[in-house]
A and B are shown apart, each in its own frame.
Chain A
Amino acid sequence: LAKTTQPISMDSYEGQEVNITCSHNNIATNDYITWYQQFPSQGPRFIIQGYKTKVTNEVASLFIPADRKSSTLSLPRVSLSDTAVYYCLVGDGNQGGKLIFGQGTESSVKP
């Protein structure tokens, strides 16, 4: 079973850039890496997805090194409303691409 590892929590201040890294060994060759955001009492919400190198959208950037054994979600200039739990989602190369959520990183933004 492929294992994904994220920091349990991170603290930051408004206006800072927040970077959250997910480690994922044995990711399937053609699988995407996807990140989700979850606020209390809500279901997770898709943020960004990538396969390699760098992807950027209006919300975040995603950096994926060549070996694809990790990925880093980057949130620029965070605000209080970015306080949430962030999950990475990858396929499991040992199980035919079955989806494996990380444990989630609780990111708290302080004023």
Chain B
Amino acid sequence: DVKVTQSSRYLVKRTGEKVFLECVQDMDHENMFWYRQDPGLGLRLIYFSYDVKMKEKGDIPEGYSVSREKKERFSLILESASTNQTSMYLCASSPPTGLSYEQYFGPGTRLTVT
């Protein structure tokens, strides 16, 4: 089975802190994604990466950056956390199967910024 793990299930940070969310997948997938999920808004794509050191902006990249130094690891960085970044963050990975969108999700990190 594909396994996508995220570094923390719950995280509490203070406003202005730099926050790192780590995601690791064990299936050698080329594509990796970061989403945030908020009530009533569904899943919104923050960034995605289709290869090591490659990244593309999603719908809501403002306030976030990403890093992909190794194929299996995709990090989401909040340079200066703000209260409006309190949310559930979900990482996903997928193989580059043409136009297939079968993504494998991690369990999520619930981040609270106080």
Residues of A within 8 A of B (CB): 30-32, 34, 36, 41-46, 49, 87, 89, 91, 97-99, 101-104
Chain B positions 42 through 79: 1 when the CB is less than 8 Å from some CB of chain A, otherwise 0 = 11110000000000001100000000000000000000
Q: Chain B nearest CB: distance from A38 CB in Å?
A: 8
**For A91, what are the chain B residues with a Cβ–Cβ distance below 8 Å?**
99, 101
Q: Contact between B99 and A97 (Cβ–Cβ < 8 Å)?
A: yes
**A78 to B100 CA separation, bound complex (whole angstroms):** 27
6 other A-B residue contacts (CB within 8 Å) besides A34-B100, A44-B90:
A31-B99, A31-B101, A32-B101, A44-B43, A98-B58, A104-B42
Nearest-CB residue, chain B, relative to A90: B101
B4 at the interface (CB under 8 A from A): yes
Question: CA A45 – CA B3 in complex, angstroms?
Answer: 12
A30, A41, A46, A98: the one within 8 Å of B99 (CB):
A30
Complex contact B102–A34 (CB within 8 A): yes
B22-60 vs A, CB cutoff 8 Å, 1 = contact: the mask equals 000000000000010000111111000000000000110
